[in-house]
A and B are shown apart, each in its own frame.
Chain A
Amino acid sequence: MLEMPLYVKVDAVSEEANNIRAYRLLALDEGPLPEFTAGAHIGIVMPNKITRYYSICSSPRDRRHYIIGVQREDQGRGGSKLVHDSVRAGTMLKLQAPRNFFALAPSGSHVLIAGGIGITPILSMAAELEARGQDFQVIYRTRGREFTPFARVIDTLVACGRAQLFDQQDGPDFGKLLEVPSKDRHVYCCGSPGFMEHVRDACSHWDAGQVHFESFSPVVAQAGDTAFTIKAQQRGTTFKVAADQSILAAIRENGIGIDSVCENGTCGTCKVRYCSGEPEHRDSVLNPAEQREYLMACVSRAKSDLLVLDI
């Protein structure tokens, strides 16, 4: 094994909303679990050898348990269905220990924006900010009460003026909300790809270091994606990336080993330096300065016909 797994047992399962369940996870010896920071996720290692990632929604200051929320996606890749169908109180799980690609800034004020099941990392962040005594505001959009998980926690946040709840129809107006960037203010967003795109557009004029996105959705080919050619500079080989194929997949198909974790442009693991050509960046981890030198092989494409990579 490349990384030591973390074994836990499911201590409690609760129905949180339509198709959403919360799972409370304990260490096998019921002692403290490994440390994590707000916004972190764990991976559940599935029997088919794939790992699915879920944000921890409990407070990082309470290491007696991790609480995760899992939304059953019947159209998904099967991970959430397997969790819903086979994980009960008492089930043991093999985890990939917590990692965080969606960390809070150490200071300042924080706008936490969530859509649907994207509330999970936001809850651990809200708990942490409350404990730090830093200013924060949760903006949460769901499809109505029966689709709102962790309603009790959210009600409490609303009651103390820390959260605003929006129905899908009634806003909020992100353009207006995020109109004026401020130096010490950070924006965090987690939700469906469409929702995050919407929020991303609304803060496109913000400094990239002040906006943070977390995505667990698989990368999907976009309409109009076309094939292009990669040249591996160090090896002197050239190969095609198909219209529906990622650079990462094409590199691997050609026998070049490259590490990856999230494969949706969030974690920064498969960062590759490019020498020439014009990439089309689709990641949410590199800042503009980094994007002039690197690309994320899992999501990025090319605007030019040829992209020369330093591999």
Chain B
Amino acid sequence: MENSPFRQIVSSLDGLREILPPPSGISVDKVLTYIDVHVRRFIEFSPYVIVATADRYGVCDSSPRGGEPGFVRVVDDRHLFLAEATGNRRADTLGNILESPQIGMLFLIPGYEETLRLNGRAVITQDPDLLAQAESINGRPPLLGIGIEVNECFLHCAKAAMRSSIWNPMGWPNLQAFPSAAEIFRDHMGGAIGDASVMNIQALLEESYTKRL
């Protein structure tokens, strides 16, 4: 990194382990290589997952997916299926999977402080049976899906959720002090959208959020 503001870079595993001792037995032993009853239930309860992928150069991306609880389907004790909405058609995730099959998923259940981490290998599939069973998106069956083969999965502890109060409404910020998405888009895109007024962008977003959800 040129002109990096960072000093005292730790650049070897030995160096890291001097500062951070190896993990405890629990942190290692909790890892499963298959989907057990608890992992299955977690996925069935989860309406929201953050999907991490990388391209052939290791350039990373993470992107959220959401649906009814259980929208990610447990196919069997080694496989999941995630139907793809067309989204913004950037296809960052799908493009990455074509270049590198590794995928990391972080499943959330609102109000539940532990999260489920699941890592594996992904393919893009048009399997007609799986697509037919998937939740329709915007009134139409999905065109594509991601098939995931599980390598490891485990429950991640609640500390981050507890520290952040993310599931405690009393700890939520006052959003009146935060700009709306329309204001942020206006500033990020200059004049490139509609007549570039916040009201116009708000109307476009509302249309997208209601008619093409």
Q: Chain A: residues with CB nearer than 8 A to chain B? A: 1, 5, 7, 44-47, 49, 82, 86-87, 91-94
- List 6 extra interface pairs beyond A46-B171, A92-B170, CB under 8 A: A82-B170, A91-B169, A91-B170, A92-B169, A94-B167, A94-B170
Q: Is the CB of B112 within 8 A of A93?
A: no
Q: Is the CB of B171 within 8 A of A47?
A: yes
- B152 contacts partner chain A, Cβ-Cβ < 8 Å: no
Q: Is the CB of A47 within 8 A of B165?
A: yes
Q: Is the CB of B112 within 8 A of A1?
A: yes
* Contact partner, B162, options A49, A92, A93, Cβ 8 Å: A49
Q: Which residues of B contact A94 (CB under 8 A)?
A: 111, 167-170
Smallest CB-CB separation from B168: which chain A residue?
Answer: A94
What DSSP secondary structure best describes chain B's contact surface?
Answer: loop
Q: Which residues of A contact B167 (CB under 8 A)?
A: 5, 94
Smallest CB-CB separation from A7: which chain B residue?
Answer: B111
Q: List 30 A-B contacts (CB under 8 A).
A: A1-B112, A1-B113, A1-B158, A5-B111, A5-B167, A7-B111, A7-B169, A44-B170, A45-B168, A45-B170, A46-B168, A46-B171, A47-B165, A47-B168, A47-B170, A47-B171, A49-B163, A49-B165, A82-B170, A86-B170, A87-B170, A91-B170, A92-B169, A93-B169, A93-B170, A94-B111, A94-B167, A94-B168, A94-B169, A94-B170
**Number of A-B pairs, beta carbon distance below 8 Å:** 35
Q: Which residues of A contact B162 (CB under 8 A)?
A: 49
* Alpha-carbon distance between A44 and B158 when the two chains are bound, in angstroms: 18
- B114 contacts partner chain A, Cβ-Cβ < 8 Å: yes
Q: Which residues of A contact B113 (CB under 8 A)?
A: 1
Residues from 166 to 180 in B contacting A, C-beta threshold 8 Å: 167-171
Smallest CB-CB separation from A86: which chain B residue?
Answer: B170
Closest CB pairs A-B (n = 9): A47-B171, A92-B169, A94-B168, A47-B165, A1-B113, A47-B170, A1-B158, A45-B168, A47-B168
Q: Which residues of A contact B114 (CB under 8 A)?
A: 1
* Alpha-carbon distance between A7 and B168 when the two chains are bound, in angstroms: 9
Q: Which residues of B contact A82 (CB under 8 A)?
A: 170
